[in-house]
Amino acid sequence: MRELRTRHRHSHISTGLFLIGLGCLFLAERQGYLDREQLINLWPGLLTLVGLSQMIGARHAGEVFRGAFLVFVSGWLYVCIQHLWGLNFYNSWPLLLIAAGVAKVLGGLFRMQSQDEENLP
């Protein structure tokens, strides 16, 4: 029960930090400190912060992989927005499927390993 409360609190903190960061970016844009081009280039960084927050506060491997997946998605978005290495949204979306699959496989492997360790005498 305590772990559920901690996870719930961590979720609220991550969501709150995301909303605060997003609001700050939009406010800076509306006040003229950023132009739209800068805003478009910066917003994937918010996903990076949320992913890192999840990884730092992780209680088990599954949470680490979810955070790492968010960091990957953030990097993918940045690469697509900047058209780095010839990648864009149209030709690189399968990378998301691959990353999600890797995260699921690794999460399952670590979950099985932790269950095996719990069953040891």
The pLDDT of residue 113 is 59
Q: How do residues 72-121 score in pLDDT, each as one tens digit?
A: 889 899 888 888 898 898 998 898 889 888 888 887 777 665 555 555 55
pLDDT, the chain, mean: 78
> Could you tell me the residue range of the domain that residue 29 belongs to?
2-118
For the record, the structure tokens of 91 come out as 């030709």
Residue 80 · residue 89 · CB < 8 Å: yes
Give the amino acid at 4: L
DSSP letter at 119 equals T
| Residue 98 CB partners (closer than 8 Å, separation 6+) | none
Stated pTM of the model:
0.62
pLDDT band for position 30 (50/70/90)?
Answer: confident
pLDDT tens string 36-80 = 777 777 778 878 888 888 888 777 777 787 888 888 889 899 888
Q: Convert 29-93 into a string of H (helix), E (strand) and C (coil).
A: HHCCCCCHHHHHHHCHHHHHHHHHHHHHCCCCHHHHHHHHHHHHHHHHHHHHHHCHHHCCHHHHC
Structural domains in the chain (count)? 1
Dist CA 82 CA 101 (whole Å): 25
CA pair distance 48, 104, nearest whole angstrom: 19
> Cα-flanking dihedrals φ and ψ of residue 101, to 5°?
-65, -45
